[in-house]
Amino acid sequence: MKKLMWLIRREYWENKAMLLWSNAAVAALLVIVFASLRGRPSYQFEGQVVEPAVMTAAQISYVIKGLNESFYLPLSLLGVLLPILIGVYCLGSLYNERDDRSVLFWKSMPVSGTTTVLSKVLFALLLFPLATLVFSLIAGIPIFLSFGIRLQTSGIQTNVFSAAFQDSDMLLTPLKMISLLPVYMLWALPTVGWLMMVSAWAKTKPILWAICIPMLTVWLIYIVSKNLDLGLNIRWLNFNIIGRGLMSILPASWIAYQKVDSPQIDYAHSLTAWSGDMYGPSLEMLGKSELWVGAIIGIAMLAVAVFLRQKRDVS
């Protein structure tokens, strides 16, 4: 365990800029953009513009809910950055140390290849999402205050901050997001496993191999299926080979599997995408075979990555 923690700290120091400064830069940019907005807020209800000073109780409640969602607006935007960071990190995690020959030094250390790869997996699936969450919440505070002050000074007939904190979702959403982290880690294993396996195998340009192999595989299967009239479900292949192989690191991408079963859920309605209607279905993924089969396949690819790291010629 001490060796594993030491290796994770090593990953942190080597990738500190990617983990912290990229999130910090985007979060700061979001704060500057949204906090600098000016003008008197106005809202439309049933096609009519309603001034905050004459809103009904139901309209005020709706506006307060929108104010609460502004607190989690950075999470929606930083969530787009998260898969990019994880993808770049995984593709370079084993390729870069072979490219600069530092792998020779680490192989000489009394640390197993399994522990080394495990440290990189935990860094990708644990520290990157936590960093995204922390910077999102930090950036959400000034954005929330900015919108709240503008709304309060517009003449609305209530204390907007008191009403906002009376909403339980406002306070529980961060805890819900943290509780969904195991779901995300398991769901993202196929993509992380695939990218690290390519990183350990590719001699050059791992990003091209990582993207082209799944796409060419599906294309070849489609050609064979069409010529031989096999009737294979190409949509299923696209979703499970390309989708699970390359895009499982997208936050809440598992919802795409449940959308057919639960079409009544409006996933795009709220900016607080990890709370509300999506929280229950997300937890239900722990009982779905799609998650566990994908996790097993991801672990198998990580085992191949460990083997390739040990046997791959540095040259």
Chain mean position to CA 183: 11
Q: What is the pLDDT of residues 213-229, one digit of tens each?
A: 888 888 888 888 878 77
Helix (H, G, I), strand (E, B) or coil at 94: coil
Strand partners, 43: 50
Other beta carbons within 10 angstroms of residue 119's beta carbon come to 22
User: What is the total count of domains within the chain?
Assistant: 1
Question: Is the per-residue pLDDT at 70 higher than 60?
Answer: yes
**Which pLDDT belongs to residue 84?**
94
Q: What is the pLDDT of residues 142-197, one digit of tens each?
A: 888 888 888 788 777 778 888 888 877 777 778 888 888 999 999 999 999 999 99
| Three-class secondary structure assignment of 34-90 | HHCCCCCCCEEECCEEECHHHCCHHHHHHHHHHHHHHHCHHHHHHHHHHHHHHHHHH
Q: Which class for 189: exposed (0-12), middle (13-18), buried (19 or more C-beta within 10 A)?
A: buried
Q: What is the pTM of this model?
A: 0.83
Among 43-52, 123-132, 134-143, 240-249, the range scoring the smallest mean pLDDT is 43-52
Question: Residue 269: phi, psi to the nearest 5?
Answer: -70, -40
234 Cβ neighbours under 8 A, 6+ residues apart: 218, 221, 222, 225
Can you say whether residue 193 is alpha, beta or left, with left for phi > 0 and alpha for psi between -120 and 50 degrees? alpha
**Which pLDDT belongs to residue 264?**
42
Q: What is the pLDDT of residues 102-114, one digit of tens each?
A: 665 555 666 777 8
Q: Which of these, 193, 91, 179, 167, lies nearest to 133 by C-alpha position?
A: 179
The domain containing residue 245 runs over which residues? 2-311
